[in-house]
Structure 1
Amino acid sequence: MLLLAFDTATPAVTAALHDGERVLAESTVVDARRHGELLVPAVDRVLTAAGAVIGQVTGVVVGVGPGPYTGLRVGLVTAAAFGDALGIPVHGVCTLDGLAWAAGEAGLLGPFTVATDARRKEVYWARYAGPHRRITEPAVNRPGDIAREVAGLPAVGAGAHLYPEVFADRRPDPAHQSAGALAALAAHRLAAGEPFEPALPLYLRRPDAQVPAGYKAVLPQ
């Protein structure tokens, strides 16, 4: 088994190779504006670091969000392209689940919340009973609207750190998404025969860019 994992649903452009037992190589660059430029070079770096070639990859793992429209589609389109070109499966994993798994690797085992920055003064979030057990569906909300639901719970993710008045017990790790953790979670699911999310974008809301409702007539009728 050789899994190529990456995620572009957050400002972290992260890629990793995993052999089913451990992370062989990982690369993460935090830059919310350059997902399209940074992802393929990151894939190349982890392949080189692991002494592997793309043809040896047996499966692609991709973060499906929730996340902003533009960044998220970079990872998903790239995953689809690799899967089609190599004839290998593409496994979708919720981005919040990857952060939860990384939190477990950092020692957070009990109930907690994962929150990422959704912009517009909102967060993408979900609650977890443990690193591998999400107990609410991913959602997007203003932090003040979910204060009662997350009260008293440790919280990880950039979204939690943006709103300390709501997420009082903020943990420093993981600070950003880790493709290594995403791959480790996928390897666990494959070994256990557990299902994956479809490799489709989990947007939760409409994109910022909208088609105008009406157009001005510029030619005579």
Structure 2
Amino acid sequence: MLLLAFDTATPAVTAALHDGQRVLAESTVVDARRHGELLVPAVDRVLATAGREIGEVTGVVVGTGPGPYTGLRVGLVTAAAFGDALDVPVHGVCTLDGLAWAAGEAGLAGPFVVATDARRKEVYWARYDGPLHRTAGPAVDRPAELPVEVTDLPAVGAGAALYPEVFTAHRPDPAHQSAGSLAALAARRLADGAPFDPPLPLYLRRPDAQVPAGYKAVLPK
């Protein structure tokens, strides 16, 4: 098994290789505006670091969000392209699930909350009873509108860090998405025969860019 994993649903452009037992190589660059420029070089970098060839990849793992429209689309389109070119399966994994697994690797047992920055003074969030068990979400809300049974829990992720007055039990680690953790979670699901999400975007709301609702009619003279 050789899994190529990456995620562009958050400002972290992250890629990793996993052999089913351990992470062989990982690259993460935090840059919210350059997903399209940074992803493929990150893939090349982890392949070179691990001393492996792209043709050895047996599966692609991609974060499905939730996340902003443009960045999220970069990862999903790239995953589809690799899957088609290599003729290997593409496994979708919720980005928040990847962060939850990373939280477990950092020693957080649960229950806890994962929250990422959704912009517009909102967060994407989900609640977990443990690294493998999501009990609520994913959803998008203003932090102040979340119930106290969510905000009083230990919380990880950049969204929680932005609103410490709401997420009062925020933990600093993990701060950003890790493709290594995403791949480790996917390897666990493959070993357990657990289902994956389809490799489709979890936008949760309409994109910022909108097609104008109407155009002024111009009649021929």
Q: Which TM class, normalised by the smaller chain length?
A: over 0.9
Aligned residues: 221
In the TM superposition, what are the counterparts of 1:40-189 in structure 2 within 5 Å? 40-189=40-189
Task: State the SS of the aligned residue for 1:16.
Answer: strand
Counterpart-to-counterpart distance in 1, 2:125 and 2:202: 12
Quote the offset at 1:151 in angstroms: 3.5
Work out whether residues 47 and 54 of structure 1, in 8 Å CA contact, stay in contact via their aligned partners in 2.
yes
Task: State the SS of the aligned residue for 1:44.
Answer: helix
Quote the offset at 1:218 in angstroms: 4.6
Counterpart-to-counterpart distance in 2, 1:18 and 1:126: 25
Which whole-Å deviations, capped at 9, do the CAs of 1:86-116 have from their partners, x for residues lacking one? Answer: 0000000000000000000000012000000
Counterpart-to-counterpart distance in 2, 1:98 and 1:118: 17
Counterpart of 2:63 in structure 1: which amino acid?
G
Which whole-Å deviations, capped at 9, do the CAs of 1:4-37 have from their partners, x for residues lacking one? Answer: 0000000000000000000000000000000000
Quote the offset at 1:149 in angstroms: 3.2
Quote the offset at 1:220 in angstroms: 2.8
Which whole-Å deviations, capped at 9, do the CAs of 1:101-134 have from their partners, x for residues lacking one? Answer: 0000000012000000000000000000001110
Find the counterpart in structure 1 of residue 197 from structure 2.
197
Counterpart-to-counterpart distance in 2, 1:155 and 1:147: 14
Find the counterpart in structure 2 of residue 28 from structure 1.
28
Quote the offset at 1:194 in angstroms: 0.1
- What TM-score comes out, normalization by structure 2 length? 0.98
Counterpart of 2:170 in structure 1: which amino acid?
R
Counterpart-to-counterpart distance in 2, 1:167 and 1:151: 5
Quote the offset at 1:216 in angstroms: 2.2
Counterpart-to-counterpart distance in 2, 1:154 and 1:175: 13
RMSD: 0.9
Query: Are positions 1:7 and 2:7 aligned together?
Result: yes
- What TM-score comes out, normalization by structure 1 length? 0.98
Quote the offset at 1:147 in angstroms: 3.8
Work out whether residues 147 and 166 of structure 1, in 8 Å CA contact, stay in contact via their aligned partners in 2.
no
Identity, % of aligned positions: 84
Counterpart-to-counterpart distance in 1, 2:160 and 2:118: 11
Task: State the SS of the aligned residue for 1:65.
Answer: coil
Work out whether residues 83 and 90 of structure 1, in 8 Å CA contact, stay in contact via their aligned partners in 2.
yes
Gaps of 5+ in 1: none
Quote the offset at 1:165 in angstroms: 1.3
